[in-house]
């Protein structure tokens, strides 16, 4: 059964059409790699999946609920299930790492401060970031900011995680760390969509791919299907032969 389903998604900004008719689905526990050239509108789809943007038309079903007509308040329960790992971490720069991680817990749970502290220590230990607990985002490297952004996104134990370029601009060490984190979360049964240009990471973590080109999903399939397919657009994209 599909946990995420996008049906006839259309989006434009003014007269500029970004997506004409995009449809795809992701089953429970799967990881979909959403790939395409720069400016293809991958992040627009990802942002729409959590209601940060509204499509012009089409449906976005999360657990069979169409989130397109929902207002900000109605989206809150959906946003507790769906986590968004922002490209730059999007940490609150006026708060410490501890406060950043405590933010969703204080907003959505009845946990006391000691239980929150315990949960945060546990989470940071799992991500190998215990030492940064009292630091501000400005004192962290880009890789650490992304990992803490990810730690904050998953602290509510969401069913779905949307990764927006999680390894962009990172060195191989930090890329490997993020890759391992995604794999660990996947092993726990989390469903995810990964938007990335980092093909080795995508190949390592994704079960299937969707290739955005010319405002539509030009090709989609599992890695095994793509490997045996003649003239596969995704293969050509990966090899750098098309944009």
Partner 1 sequence: MSQPVDLPAMITNRVKEPLEFLGGVALLAKDTFKELRTRPFYGSLLVDQIYLVGVKSLPLVLITALSTGMVMALQYGLGLEKFGGKPYVPRLVASTILREMGPVFTSLMLAARVGAGMASEIGSMVVTQQIDAMRALGTSPIKKIVIPRVLACLIVLPLLVSIANLVGNFGGLVVGATELNLDAQFYFRRVLETSNLKDYIAGFGKTFFFALFIALPSCYFGLNVKNGTKEVGIATTKAVVTASLLILVGDFFLAKLFWVIEKWL
Q: Which is nearer to partner 1, 34 or 217 (CB)?
A: 34
Q: If you count them, how many residues does the chain have?
A: 243
Q: Which tokens in the block code for residue 145?
A: 């900011």
Give DSSP secondary structure letters for 156-205: T--SEEEEESTTTT--HHHHHHHHHHHHHHHHTT-EEEEE-S-HHHHHHH
Q: Reduce the secondary structure of 3-32 to three states and give it as a string.
A: EEEEEEEEEEECCEEEEEEEEEEEECCCEE
Residues 139-178 that bind partner 1 (CB under 8 A): 152
Report the C-alpha gap between 142 and 215 in whole angstroms.
Answer: 31
Nearest approach, Cβ of residue 30 and partner 1 (Å): 21
Quick check: 208 binds partner 1 (CB under 8 A)?
Answer: no
Angle CA 152–153–154, to nearest 5: 95
Binding-site size, partner 1 (CB under 8 A): 25
Q: Which of 104, 148, 159, 219 touches partner 1 (CB under 8 A)?
A: 104
Q: Does 65 bind partner 1 (CB under 8 A)?
A: no
Q: Which is nearer to partner 1, 160 or 178 (CB)?
A: 160
Strand 82-85 vs strand 31-36: parallel, antiparallel, or unpaired? unpaired
Q: Which is nearer to partner 1, 107 or 125 (CB)?
A: 107
Judged by CB under 8 A, the stretch of 19-27, 75-83, 207-215, 219-227 that binds partner 1 is: 75-83
Angstrom distance (rounded) from CA 139 to CA 148: 12
Residue 156 or 242 having the CB closest to partner 1: 156
Distance of CA 17 to the CA centre of its chain: 23
Identity of the residue, 75 or 111, whose beta carbon is nearer to partner 1 in the bound complex: 75
Beta carbon nearer to partner 1, 81 or 235: 81
- Does position 92 bind partner 1 by CB under 8 A? yes
Q: Which stretch binds partner 1 (CB under 8 A): 79-87, 187-195, 206-214, 219-227?
A: 79-87
Q: Return residues touching partner 1 (CB under 8 A).
A: 47, 50-52, 72-73, 75-77, 79-80, 83-84, 86-88, 90-93, 103-104, 107-108, 152
């Amino acid at each position: 059964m599909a946990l995420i389903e996008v049906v006839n998604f259309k989006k434009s900004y003014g007269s500029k059409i970004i997506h004409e008719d995009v449809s795809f689905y992701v089953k429970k526990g799967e990881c979909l790699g959403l790939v395409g050239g720069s400016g293809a509108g991958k992040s627009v789809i990802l942002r729409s999946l959590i209601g940060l943007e509204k499509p012009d038309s089409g449906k976005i079903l999360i657990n069979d609920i169409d989130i397109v007509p929902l207002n900000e308040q109605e989206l809150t329960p959906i946003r507790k299930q769906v986590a968004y790992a922002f490209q730059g971490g999007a940490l609150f720069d006026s708060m410490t790492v501890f406060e950043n991680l405590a933010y969703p817990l204080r907003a959505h749970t009845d946990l006391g401060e000691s239980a929150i502290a315990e949960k945060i220590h546990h989470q940071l230990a799992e991500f190998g970031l215990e030492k940064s607990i009292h630091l501000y985002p400005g004192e962290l490297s880009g890789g650490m900011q992304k990992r803490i952004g990810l730690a904050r996104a998953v602290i509510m134990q969401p069913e779905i995680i949307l990764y927006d370029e999680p390894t962009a601009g990172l060195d191989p060490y930090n890329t490997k760390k993020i890759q391992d984190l995604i794999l660990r979360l996947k092993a726990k049964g989390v469903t995810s969509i990964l938007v990335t240009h980092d093909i080795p990471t995508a190949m390592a973590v994704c079960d299937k791919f969707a290739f955005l080109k010319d405002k539509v999903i030009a090709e989609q399939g599992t890695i095994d299907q793509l490997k045996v397919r003649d003239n596969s657009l995704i293969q050509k994209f990966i090899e750098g032969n098309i944009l």
